[in-house]
Structure 1
Amino acid sequence: MAEEILINFTPMETRVAVVENGMPQEIYVERASRRGIVGNIYKGKVVRVLPGMQAAFVDIGLERAAFIPVDELVGAEAQTAQGNRTSVPIAQVIREGETLLVQVTKDPIGSKGARLTTHLSIPSRYLVLMPHNDHIGVSQRIDDADERERLKTLMEQLMSESALAEGSGGFILRTVAEGASELELRTDIDFLRRLWKNLQQKITTASVPSIVYEDLPLHMRALRDMAHADVERIRIDSRETYQSAVEFAQILVPEIIEKIEYYPGERPLFDMFNVEEEMQKALGRKVELKSGGYLIFDQTEAMTTVDINTGGFVGHRNLEETIFKTNLEAATAIGRQLRLRNLGGIIIIDFIDMTDPDHQRQVQRTLDRVLEKDHAKCKVTGVSELGLIEMTRKRTRESLEHVLCEPCPVCQGRGSVKTPETVSYEIFREILRQHRAYDTESYLVLAAVSVVNYLLDEASDHVAELEAFIGKTIRFQAETLYSPEQFDVVLR
């Protein structure tokens, strides 16, 4: 599977696209004015403890206080008489006014503040350092049992060596650590321990609230987290960014240096690989399938829904076969769209109803297989009684739509506006209201062009009846800058 990473850099914005077999699969956007804060470590102050919610709010210097549940506090776990783990009351763990070292696990999204943890983790190329834990873990995405055992044994040996034994802390071996050598792991351990030692010195002198550790910018995170053995090329269209990427790779990921290329072409990098067009499509509700069917994506505050329709696809055999083929194609497309749009949280998929249980199983297996490529953690349930597939996808950053768009000022995010007929009747009611309250000779109605056209054409009879009823003249004036729902009734 040919895979490339494209990095488009401007001083205002960095964009990264992961392209597989010529098709964009993932798109990340980071703007200089509002970089994401996931992974940042802050020295914060507890401003409110909520015993009823077993959570607290922490001031880390942002506009909104951040939220931390009791499960994310180090030392908040106790063991029951039966040997089970349980959380102790949060009031016994922290109190208001206390200083707390926290890490952001989820960006502020919508009206919600950032989500925090005190279980700190600092990533490098192959490892994640956990300063408050002595555990050695291996990524679940490394399936080979022998490789998992090799890596764990190797880490135990390296951590027991006197040269590396200084300082506490455990490690998690990341997915890219599969096949890593002893030297590569040793280099990562050294790097992370030095970094943590420097951070500890910074933490002691930092004020409250303040940031003490900031995650890497997007183009460097892409090199650290996305560049694996299957990546053939990493193309960068900025010479300065290319040079800084090479310098960064020499320190942390020397094996990918030969894959990094500077792209000097006249044609924009994202145009050449069709990324711009795919980004525009990813902002729309409708996704066309090759068969003629289509998907409809709707993002709401609570969840994302996906509806599948056969559209123009009529099939060649029978209805059940047509539905099955459409659902199979849709399952593959949905997996890609979730990554492309960076959709997270609860996702409800309404596949077209299938009567054959074997068809249902095959569609779900196809969806599961596609989601295996996803970097975000996904959990899929079976087909419900209503024929829906419910799933969750871990969300740490805003979706592509939320990064690039804002709610429509005309419809206020409803996705629809009132018809000219509805607005016309509202105008009639407003005229009657003013007629009862004020004495005037005539009325001037200011409204959008479509509404005025409707009043002078289809509703002209109603206007004449209203004039006769109130005994006043009504005139209309089209305002090109008015939204479809906006109008004013002026007394003359």
Structure 2
Amino acid sequence: MSEEILINVTPRETRVAVVENGMLQEVLIERSSRRGYVGNIYKGRVQRVMPGMQAAFVEIGLERAAFLHASDILRPPPAAVASEGEAEPPPAPVPTPPISELVHEGQEIVVQVVKDPIGSKGARLTTQLSIPSRYLVLLPHSKVVGVSARIEDEAERARLKALLAQCAGASTMGYIVRTNAEGQGAEALAEDVDYLGRVWELVRANSARTPVGGCIYEDLSLPLRALRDLMHDGVEKVRVDSRETFDKILLFARQFMPELAERVEHYPGERPIFDLYGIEDEIQRGLQKEVPLKSGGHLIIDQTEAMTTIDVNTGSFLGQRNLEETVFRTNLEAAQAVARQLRLRNLGGIIIIDFIDMTDEDHRRQVLRTLEKALAHDHAKTTVYDFSPLGLVEMTRKRTTESLARQLCEPCHECGGRGMLKTAETLTYEIFREITRAVRQFDAQRLLVLAAPKVVNKILEEESAAVAELEEFLGKSIRFQADEQYSQEQYDVVLL
């Protein structure tokens, strides 16, 4: 599989595109006016404790107070009792104490953002700090040593754990080995342990002198973060269209991944790099509800506040054999398309997929396996459940930032975010009611109605008899005037 990372830099916005086999898979966007907060560490102050929610709201200097749940507050692990010569038993799970026992209003607290503000919700916080590097994640308040579940080979997991124990030495802090570490040697892990140690000392020093609401530690900028998190042996090249950003990335690569530094290239071309790869068109398609499938079928994707629903339709695909075969082939293609769209659109939370009904149990299993296999390339954690009794597939995808649509778009001012407009016929009768209401409330001989051309044309061409009846009933003269400045649902009834 051929994979490239493209980085487009403009003065106020940076975009990163992950392209696999010539097809866009993922887009990351960072604007200087609105950088993400995930990974940043702040000194906060508890603003309000909410016992009924088992949570507290913490002021960290952002527009809205952030949310800290009791389960995300670090507590010292219970002491385990072990007889001499025996292995220490794993600690039993301890129920979360009431939030009022963990924090109190006015308390200063060091917290880390784990989820950006989304919609009307504030950022989500934790006191269980973690600092990532190229191959490791440092857990300064833990003694856990773990390996990413994506590294499945047991021998490799054991090797990495042994190397980490050797590199960390007598460290009292915990570490998680990231997927990128697969196949790496002791030297690479030792460099990361040293780097994380220096970062943690800086965080500790900053914690003491940073005022409440101040940022103690800020995660890397998007280009460096993309290199840290997305670069691996399978990436053929990283192309950057800014000389200044290229120099920074190259320096970072030579310091932390020297064996891959030669794959970083500066793109000096006149034609925009995203145009060269067709990325701009793909982003536009990623904002549309309908996604065509090569077979002739299509997906309909609806993102709501509570969940995202994806409907699979056969469209014009008739298949070669019978209906069941047609449905099966369409669903197989749809499963792969769904996995790509979730990643491309950065859709998270609860996702419901309505595949076309299949009667064959084996077909259902194959479609589910295809979906799970396609999701294996996703960097976000996903969980897929079996078909429900209604034939729906429920899944979750970890969400830390806004979706692509919500980063690039805003609710429609014409329809108020409903996604639909009232018809001209509906507005006609609404205007008639408003005229009646106005005449009964105020004294006027004549009325002028200003509305959108489509609505006025509807009234004058198809409802002229109704207007005449209304004038006779009210004993008033009514005039209609089209105004191009009015949106379809906008109108004014003026008393003359």
TM-score higher than 0.5 here?
yes
> What is the rounded CA distance, in whole Å, between the counterparts of 2:256 and 2:352 in structure 1?
40
> What is the rounded CA distance, in whole Å, between the counterparts of 2:108 and 2:36 in structure 1?
23
1:250-261 to structure 2, matched below 5 A, reads 250-261=254-265
**Residue in 2 that maps onto 1:124:** 133
**Residue in 2 that maps onto 1:147:** 156
Q: 1:94 to 1:32 in 2, by over 3 A?
A: same
Moved more, 433-442 or 275-284: 433-442
How many residue pairs match? The answer is 487
The alignment partner of 2:396 has SS state of strand
**Residue in 2 that maps onto 1:20:** 20
Structure 1, unaligned runs of 5 or more: none
Q: Deviations over 1:326-351 (max 9, x none)?
A: 11110000000000000000000000
**Residue in 2 that maps onto 1:282:** 286
The 4+ residue runs of structure 1 with deviation greater than 4 A are 76-80
Of 182, 185, 188, which residue of structure 2 is paired with 1:181?
185
Deviation at 1:91, TM superposition (A): 1.4
TM-score (norm 1): 0.97
CA contact (8 A) 1:78 1:86 kept: no
- Which AA in structure 1 matches 2:467? V
Structure 2, unaligned runs of 5 or more: 81-90
Deviation at 1:76, TM superposition (A): 7.0
The alignment partner of 2:75 has SS state of coil
**Residue in 1 that maps onto 2:207:** 203
Please give the root-mean-square deviation of Cα atoms over the aligned residues, in Å.
Answer: 1.4
Deviation at 1:247, TM superposition (A): 1.1
**Residue in 2 that maps onto 1:306:** 310
**Residue in 1 that maps onto 2:111:** 102
> What is the rounded CA distance, in whole Å, between the counterparts of 1:132 and 1:431 in structure 2?
69
> What is the rounded CA distance, in whole Å, between the counterparts of 2:94 and 2:149 in structure 1?
22
**Residue in 1 that maps onto 2:253:** 249
**Residue in 2 that maps onto 1:61:** 61
- Which AA in structure 1 matches 2:103? I
> 1:408 and 2:423 equivalent?
no
> 1:461 and 2:465 equivalent?
yes
**Residue in 2 that maps onto 1:34:** 34
- Which AA in structure 2 matches 1:108? P
Q: Deviations over 1:94-126 (max 9, x none)?
A: 111111110000000001000000110001100
1:61-460 to structure 2, matched below 5 A, reads 61-75=61-75, 83-160=92-169, 165=170, 168-460=172-464
> What is the rounded CA distance, in whole Å, between the counterparts of 1:198 and 1:64 in structure 2?
27
Q: Deviations over 1:297-353 (max 9, x none)?
A: 000000000001111111121111111111111000000000000000000000011
**Residue in 2 that maps onto 1:479:** 483
> What is the rounded CA distance, in whole Å, between the counterparts of 1:407 and 1:173 in structure 2?
41
Deviation at 1:474, TM superposition (A): 1.0
The alignment partner of 2:207 has SS state of helix
Q: Deviations over 1:456-477 (max 9, x none)?
A: 1111111111112112211111
Moved more, 240-249 or 342-351: 240-249
> What is the rounded CA distance, in whole Å, between the counterparts of 2:64 and 2:93 in structure 1?
35
CA contact (8 A) 1:76 1:88 kept: no
Q: 1:472 to 1:321 in 2, by over 3 A?
A: same
> What is the rounded CA distance, in whole Å, between the counterparts of 2:62 and 2:265 in structure 1?
38
- Which AA in structure 2 matches 1:55? A
The alignment partner of 1:395 has SS state of coil
> What is the rounded CA distance, in whole Å, between the counterparts of 1:134 and 1:470 in structure 2?
82
- Which AA in structure 2 matches 1:352? I
- Which AA in structure 1 matches 2:358? M
**Residue in 2 that maps onto 1:7:** 7
- Which AA in structure 1 matches 2:160? L
> What is the rounded CA distance, in whole Å, between the counterparts of 1:66 and 1:125 in structure 2?
28
- Which AA in structure 1 matches 2:279? V
CA contact (8 A) 1:293 1:313 kept: yes
Q: Deviations over 1:213-272 (max 9, x none)?
A: 001111010110001010000000011110111111122222221000000111111011
**Residue in 1 that maps onto 2:88:** none
> What is the rounded CA distance, in whole Å, between the counterparts of 1:79 and 1:204 in structure 2?
29
TM-score (norm 2): 0.96
Deviation at 1:406, TM superposition (A): 0.3
Deviation at 1:55, TM superposition (A): 1.0
**Residue in 2 that maps onto 1:47:** 47
Moved more, 101-110 or 150-159: 150-159
> What is the rounded CA distance, in whole Å, between the counterparts of 1:20 and 1:105 in structure 2?
28
Deviation at 1:156, TM superposition (A): 0.9
